[in-house]
Structure 1
């Protein structure tokens, strides 16, 4: 196997904002972190790097939502790294990582959304499920599923390249509560697969500006039809990786950032897919 660890995709939800604290749906609204959120992410960065849960020298890319709260979080999390360490990390702002566009539900609480939909004569036969029903005048589950499928394709392509080159590769994603839980579910193929058939599905949108990240055109994608039942609080971190060091076997790393050294990993490249 060698000493190169299995590539990882480390997802980080931005720190606390006034609306994450209150529970209001925050999509395109560009809020800053609260003072608590700033300190929260400073403490997180200090912990994960000083305790070597994440080796800063293994971070190849940081992908981020364009929203202020996500970009601020990067600065606080990476604050304890040396200037030299930070200079080696490419930061890519990617529109595909933005939060679910909530449309009419922006700024509302869940019970307010339910009441609004009831007043409009919706959900008479079954309760609202954002993962299936999407948002009025916002994004459908197919729309967010497509753009997050594009993100996954880019990340996994980079991981495949880095693994072939023998480069340790932790790629960090800084984004939001719904988008990161959705992405995690798609990572290991929950939901349903759909062919790209319509013009909007086939359109090749360049949602980032970095020539070192190849654009991967999709002929199919995945989207959810139910709640994946994942939690990711403001400031939370999750880890996605691969079984048997195989990029074609994406998996959830249940141990999160708490991983053994590469030479002690229990997975082996020649183990069958079990």
Structure 2
């Protein structure tokens, strides 16, 4: 049987931006443009040094496309991850900045920590029978779980249009999403065909890389890597 780790099967890399001051203290950061902290810069730079480059896990020559959030923290992360390779990727028109992978729009909850959100909803008489859950309840004056689902499903469709002709390794067709913690976890749920409200505890550190792909080179059998071997650079 063919190994699921065969790198010729197209992959989707998820890259979370590095630490910001708001993320560090748990403030919900959606549309607010905020810079990386010095530690955030180090996180992403270290990830790039270890995982990005010719012969590494994320080989720029194997990338078919990059989608990146418009927010500065994601844009900076893209530049730090790819370093000198980013100019070549841009010239090849392989980089798209899009709201499709922007962070969840938190609406009235922008800049708040979770305890403040819950207290505010309680004062309004909400969540009488169960605690607020963004995956189910969405955000007041922001995005609902259904709205997030729809934009991510559209993006998944675009990705699969690129990868469908390449399932047998006809040519490299890896892609990468450079974005934010909540939206990347939401993307992983939809990649696995789970609804937003399906309980699926996930963690993703600032500056981290996640990997999704397909089992058995089947475009309809989307999966995630529980663990992945790191290629040795020649």
TM-score using structure 2 length:
0.89
What's the counterpart of residue 128 of structure 1? 132
CA-based RMSD: 2.2
**What SS does the corresponding residue of 1:225 show, helix, strand or coil?**
coil
Q: Distance in 1 between matches of 2:77 and 2:201?
A: 25
The 5 Å alignment of 1:122-201 reads 122-163=126-167, 166-191=170-195
What's the counterpart of residue 210 of structure 2? 238
Q: How many residues are treated as equivalent by the alignment?
A: 227
The 5 Å alignment of 1:204-219 reads none
2:73 to 69, 72, 90: 69
Larger-Rg structure: 1
CA distances 1:165-217 after superposition (whole Å, capped 9, x unpaired): 811121010011110000001101111xxxxxxxxxxxxxxxxxxxxxxxxxx
The 5 Å alignment of 1:1-274 reads 5-49=8-52, 52-79=56-83, 81=85, 84=88, 87-88=91-92, 90-163=94-167, 166-191=170-195, 224-256=196-228, 258=229
**1:19 and 1:26 in contact (8 A); partners too:** yes
Once the two structures are TM-superposed, the CA of residue 49 in structure 1 deviates from its matched residue by 2.6
Q: Distance in 2 between matches of 1:96 and 1:44?
A: 24
Listed as ranges, the gaps of 5+ residues in structure 1 are 192-223, 262-274
The change in CA–CA distance for 1:185 and 1:76 in structure 2 (over 3 A counts) is: same
Q: Distance in 1 between matches of 2:192 and 2:33?
A: 30
Once the two structures are TM-superposed, the CA of residue 84 in structure 1 deviates from its matched residue by 4.8
The change in CA–CA distance for 1:135 and 1:99 in structure 2 (over 3 A counts) is: same
**1:24 and 1:109 in contact (8 A); partners too:** yes
TM-score using structure 1 length:
0.77
The change in CA–CA distance for 1:143 and 1:132 in structure 2 (over 3 A counts) is: same
Listed as ranges, the gaps of 5+ residues in structure 2 are none
